Amino acid sequence: MSGLRERKKLATRAALGAAARSLAVEVGTENVRVADIADRAGVAPRTYNGYFGSREEAICALYADRAGRIADALRARPADQPLLAAITAAITAEFLGPDPDRAALRLITRDPALRGEYLKDLSTLEAPLAAAIQDRLPDPLTASAIAAATVAVTRVALTHWLDSPDDKPFPHHATQALEALTNLT
């Protein structure tokens, strides 16, 4: 996905998702309309329909675009770096800069109408991450298990960060949660 057309498609998808999330926080999930999302993103409603099948899907669209970047970041890590350290670095690098919008993420992770879509979107991380892990480990079952565990731990870290009274950024919580996996061995 390195061509200009693909980059524009990803940017449009991201803009639509961001518009849907901000509207959901402002007016409530049930009041978000396709026309409003499209207007806020600066596209036609017909364009919106080419990217998303529902407002819930648009509101929760967080990880599909990140999945490839995280996998690429893992592949770019030094081959001699321990796997967990490489995974942690790849995931936390994706969240450097401003923290994700806590209000939107609280809504997505707690609203029953959105939670299933959120979990489905989060699961899009598993396959690309497993493929990148398999570049380091020859066993596909082990790679898939590690990817699934990593996604689950990242989800737990997000929930912890959302509920945490401290002001530490999300990468701190993600690193702490991922490092907990080393205690399993």
Asked if 73 contacts 94 with a C-beta cutoff of 8 angstroms, the reply is: yes
Q: Token digits for 82?
A: 């321990």
pLDDT of residue 58: 93
Asked if 93 contacts 34 with a C-beta cutoff of 8 angstroms, the reply is: no
C-alpha 52/C-alpha 34 separation (Å) is 10
Q: What is the mean pLDDT of residues 104-132?
A: 91
Q: Note the helical H segments in 28-125.
A: 34-41, 45-49, 55-60, 64-76, 83-94, 102-110, 112-122
pLDDT, mean over the chain:
90
pLDDT of residue 1: 47
pLDDT, tens digit, 9 for 90 and up, residues 44-89: 999 999 999 999 999 988 776 788 889 999 999 999 999 999 999 9
Is the pTM above the cut of 0.85? Answer: no
Handedness of CA 152, 134, 179, 121 (dihedral sign): negative
